Structure 1
Amino acid sequence: MFTHKPSGFPALSFSNTQTFEHFHSINCNGRLIDLSAPKIMGILNLTPDSFSDGGKFNNEKSALEQTEKMLKDGAEIIDIGPQSTRPNAEFLTSEEEIRRIGNIISLIKKEFPEALISLDTFYSETVKFGFNEGIDLINDISGGQYDDKMFETIAETKLPYILMHVNPTYKTMHDKIQFEDIILSENRYFSEKTAELLKLGVKDLILDPGFGFGKTVEDQMKMIDEVQYLGFGKFPLLIGISRKSFIYKPLGKSPLDINEETQKLHLKVLQQGAKILRVHDVLEAKKTLDRFVRS
């Protein structure tokens, strides 16, 4: 064990009367977070090579300023990413991730104690480092497949774990797979992985369908349309479609020019029971969330 330091899209066709309602809460270091009201997770990339904001927030001053802005704009969770996972991104070791993170987690916890901090990594050693710095959630794009010690480390931390659907190796994570039925394939994957995690004693699980990772545009639009069927309502769903290419490429736009289309899709997944939106543009997502709550 290690020690913890305290601290042209489809028209909308759903109304709130059709929303799939499930009660979910997660235990973040003894702080019970009620997900009956959806939350916004703001993305803080500490990377020089992320596809839309690389190099903007990879020092302590800019990271703290961006964190403050996202919290003021309505984020409740800050997702810290030391490594880009876009296609052809630079591959970092865990040691390099930890060096890149530096003191940023502890500085954010000190300056903004109300913020929940999520760490985006597929390395168990980076998780251990983040745990000792005071993180509240673990966001693993690999589903435990890129580090064979990840699941046992997650169990040791007792922190909530975000389980994403993705191809089985780092080299193939962006290879387009032809799924016979994407929803069925995802549910098989989630069923197997959650059973393994629950057996290890991991109690707080969040499912991420893995938009932008090895899926066709058609499959991703099907996922949007059928979000309500993912995971059978057993676990809360996180949706990360912010600035993803399946939205902007078919429209011939840039990642920074698709806010209207993205918010329509955000509203659609909220109406189907999504509990966390992982976003770059917090203020715009908060407007969508408020619209959903009022409807």
Structure 2
Amino acid sequence: MQNHLSSINYHSLNCNGRLVDLSSPKIMGILNLTPDSFSDGGKFNNEKDALKHTEKLLSEGAGIIDIGPQSTRPNAEFLSSKEEIQRIGKVISQIKKEFPEALVSLDTFYAETVRFGFNEGIDMVNDISGGQFDETMFDIVAETRLPYILMHVNPSYETMHDKIKYEDITLEINRYFSEKTNVLLQKGVKDIILDPGFGFGKTVEDQMKMIDEVEYLGLERFPLLIGISRKSFIYKPLGKSPLDIDEETQKLHMKVLQQGAKILRVHDVAKSAAVVKQFCDKNKKC
């Protein structure tokens, strides 16, 4: 593993002209503006509470704040882009004003929401659909020149949670990444982050295999984001709740960091930041 780690190229991202070095893994703190998210729905869906939670996430070690106006859990309420924009309101611009050092990611599969977010000051786009739910997504990302998080997912909103048992999940994800990144690169999108899509349409067995094979995901050309926080493939087999698997999650975070993951998307920033520090201290890589 050490040899593999030392061979990974360190990456940097151009976020609106600000160069972000990923030689040290980054924590992406989740800010849900939704009333119906599975673990924290309704807690932060007003401007005051959203700013307060952002301050907490940043103080605990988050370098990126991922703003989600729409829940993508199974059976969630489906919002239009217009409804997403209404829900976001002034949260992005207020965060940028109050916390100028924070990087803001916008979690949406709509190009129009990206355009709105860009005008409000976002630094990157987190699209769970891989450009499949809005055919103009890749074009708006190319136009804004924002870093783009490309996630592996089934091809439609209706099927995104349909469980598929793959013959070789790692091969399937890398095939998908290869096809999509080629299109993005042709359009001029240079800053791409890859997310293998834990929690979306994959069996528990395949997701555990993904954890074991993180080092083989992502083609080594692009930084890898891992989002396993409060995911059912961890808590359901244990008979626990999403809020009761911190210890198990942090062990898995360490495992993926050791295999080269560069961004952890998490709810619990403090505990995840402690794991990143432990990883850096042990490996002298950060």
Q: Which residue of 2 aligns with 1:8?
A: none
Match of 2:194, SS state, is strand
- The aligned runs of 1:172-183 (5 Å cut-off) are 172-183=159-170
Contact 1:43 1:80 in 2 (8 A): yes
1:253 to 236, 240, 261: 240
1:152 to 128, 139, 146: 139
Q: In structure 2, which of residues 21, 25, 35 is the aligned counterpart of residue 34 of structure 1? A: 21
In structure 1, what residue type is equivalent to 2:247? E
* Distance (whole Å) between structure 1 residues aligned to residue 243 and residue 67 of structure 2: 20
Measure how far apart 1:159 and its partner are: 0.4
Match of 1:167 in 2: 154
Aligned residues: 281
Q: Cα deviations across residues 95-143 of structure 1 (Å, max 9, x unaligned)?
A: 0000000000000000000000000000000000000000000000000
Q: What's the RMSD between the two structures over aligned residues? A: 0.8
Deviation at 1:21, TM superposition (A): 2.5
**TM superposition outliers: structure 1 runs of 4+ over 3 Å:** none
- 1:217 and 1:238 mapped to 2: Cα distance? 19
Q: State how 1:60-79 maps to structure 2 within 5 Å.
A: 60-79=47-66
2:45 is the alignment partner of 1:50: no
Partners of 2:115 and 2:16 lie apart in 1 by 14
| 1:209 matches 2:232 | no
- The answer to whether 1:230 aligns with 2:217 is yes
1:176 Cα offset (Å): 0.3
* Preserved CA contact (<8 Å) 1:18 1:271: no
Distance in 2 of aligned mates of 1:151 and 1:110: 28
Map of 2:84 onto structure 1 = 97
Secondary structure of the corresponding residue to residue 41 of structure 1: strand
- Structure 2 equivalent of residue 4 of structure 1: none
Cα-to-partner distance string for 1:52-80 (whole Å, 9 max, x where unaligned): 00000000110000000000000000000
Counterpart selection for 1:111 from 90, 98, 103:
98
Kindly state the Cα deviation for residue 17 of structure 1 after the two structures are TM-superposed: 5.3
Distance apart, 1:275 and its partner CA: 0.2
3-state SS of 2:219 partner? helix
CA displacement at 1:231 relative to structure 2 = 1.8
Structure 1: any 5+ residue segments left out of the alignment?
A: 1-13
* Alignment partners' CA distance in 1, 2:257 and 2:222: 15
In structure 1, C-alpha distance between the alignment counterparts of 2:225 and 2:52, rounded to whole Å: 25
Aligned to 1:195: 182
